[in-house]
Structure 1
Amino acid sequence: MKPSQLQDHLRRCHPDKTEKDLKYFQTLKDKFQKRPTLDRMFASTSQRNDHGLQASYNISLLIAKSGKPHTIGEKLNLPAVEEVLKTVLHKPASDIIKRVPLSNNTVERRIDEMSSDIEIFLCNYLQTTHFSIQLDESTLPDNATLLLAYVRFIMNQEIYEELLFARTLITDTKGESIFHVLKDYFIKEAIPLSNITSVATDGAPAMVGRYRGLISYLKQNVTGVLAIHCVIHRQHLVRKNLSVRLHESLHLVIDAVNRIRSNALNTRFV
């Protein structure tokens, strides 16, 4: 529109604004651009929900690390947050609490999703790098046998150690069965066995047997793999041959520490 037409429109339709300066119209423009719209309202609500979702994942991670029951999120964490908001910040907590889902099933689902994501990332990284692995099988109270596998690798010039998997040995605990569980997992996750540079185990025959141990089967598939006896198991073997005097001294110290730690009020003395 031509300037003359704009001036004519201003005089005829908005006579009360003919004497206003440029700053007034700029203020009107800013107010118009910042007015609440439907898109902005939905975007703001979505952003708040995203923050609540992120808080839900972070708290679920803390619950998983603490080893507490999943119900602690709904029974303790949310009431604690609500009390802090009301007492310290003097803010209404109902709207904020509603945006942070922490029910038992929700926390369990969050933990499963995070663990699955970590496993996928770890397996993808192990597909292209060399690493060492530690294997150990243990029997649970219900007589089920569990195979644990830890990996140690270098990433960004730092050494990391992560739990790779925990699998139940369905048939038996022989070296061949353990090797097949390990091999099947590596095939499933597309991790080459050749990326294993060393393996650490205890001294059980199923692990270090010359002909039917896990290491013998692994060496048949991975040339040059280094077998290491677990240091912790070595310490356990050494402890069996301690002198009587040293054994009694250590036993006395262990009893004293356990007695103190059995009472929460006495733990400050340790």
Structure 2
Amino acid sequence: MPKRKYDPAYIKYGFIAIEHGGEALPQCVVCMKSLSNAAMKPSLLKRHLETNHADKKDRYQSYFQRLGKNVKRQRMDKTGQIYQKGAGIVKASYEVALLVAKNMKAHTIAVSLIMPAAKILVSHVIGEKAVAKLECVSVSNNTVQRRIEEMSVDIADQVVEGVKSSKYGFAIQLDESTDITNCSQLLVYVRFTQSNAAKTELLLSQDLSSTTTGKDILNVLDNFFKQNELDWGKLVGCPTDGAPSMLG
């Protein structure tokens, strides 16, 4: 059966919509009761109002709209204003951390520059009342660092999952070099297919604490494959300038 959609006009019967299990359900703003998706019909909604709340059936639509706003404010799911406000605050914090990371700036710049600048802009363009809302957004040094680390882990997980689901296997390219601190770094790039398109991503970046022989590099890579459950059998080669190349 096709799922019924909520019509904003249903508020005149005292019903708003609530999402549950991927479908819209009508919720009464008077008794807070949720009906099935099949009951999303004007006749059934009107019957509920007249049967269960007969003393309110002649109320103006604005009355039900006020009740609907109170119900939405109290909800704790994704449709509730409390959830949306909290989600917006967290999202803003992540966006600021991403901006700091992309520009390779010190984490403290969020507190010392970005937030003060945002408050100045908001106070002059929107008003002083809106400035208070920015106080809820956490952009401290520790928070920005934690956000960047969480996003890094999420990106790495996405790459690994993409490699696992690659239809035609994957290819890797390794580069071992020494940085300015005389520390050996191993970089592993991976090429795989996703949504019928070839993608190239950084798969691994790790220090080589001891020697840098071929065996050491293989051990590091093999441990990474085991930890992330990557299949050596799907490795189709190491591309160098378009041609498979195995050295060392």
CA distance in 2: counterparts of 1:226 and 1:80, whole angstroms:
51
How many angstroms does 1:68 deviate by?
0.9
Report whether the alignment pairs 1:65 with 2:83: no
Contact preservation (8 Å) 1:53, 1:100: yes
Shift of 1:142: 2.7
Whole-angstrom distance in 2 between the partners of 1:101 and 1:86 = 19
How many residues end up aligned between the 2 structures? 188
Q: 1:27 to 1:179 in 2, by over 3 A?
A: closer
Deviation at 1:92, TM superposition (A): 2.4
Q: Does the CA contact (< 8 Å) of 1:200 and 1:227 recur in 2?
A: yes
Amino acid at match of 1:64: A
TM superposition shift of 1:28: 7.0
Residue 96 of structure 1 and its aligned partner are, at CA, apart by: 2.0
1:40 aligns with 2:74: yes
TM-score (norm 2): 0.66
Partner of 2:159: 122
* Partner of residue 254, structure 1: none
- In the TM superposition, residue 102 of structure 1 has moved relative to its aligned partner by 0.8
Within-5 A mapping of 1:212-223: none
1:143, distance to aligned residue in structure 2 (A): 2.1
CA distance in 2, matches of 1:28, 1:65: 47
Larger Rg belongs to: 1
TM normalised by structure 1 equals 0.61
- Give, in whole Å, the separation in 1 of the partners of 2:62 and 2:220: 71
Identity across aligned pairs (percent)?
Answer: 31
| Alpha-carbon displacement from aligned partner over 1:103-125 (angstroms, at most 9, x marks no partner) | 11101101111111111122122
Q: Give the structure with the larger helix fraction.
A: 1
C-alpha RMSD of matched pairs (Å): 3.1
User: Which residue of structure 2 lines up, in the alignment, with residue 264 of structure 1?
Assistant: none
Cα pair 2:178 2:185 within 8 Å, conserved: yes
Unaligned runs of 5+ in 1: 1-21, 203-224, 230-270
Contact 2:191 2:201 in 1 (8 A): yes
Residues 73-82 or 120-129, more deviating:
120-129
Cross-structure match for 2:226 = 187
Q: Report the secondary structure of 1:153's partner residue.
A: strand
Q: Which moved more, 1:119-128 or 1:184-193?
A: 119-128
1:157 positional shift = 2.5
Q: Following TM superposition, where does structure 1 have runs of at least 4 consecutive aligned residues deviating by more than 6 angstroms?
A: none
Q: CA offsets, 1:183-237, max 9 Å, x none?
A: 11111111011222221469xxxxxxxxxxxxxxxxxxxxxx92179xxxxxxxx
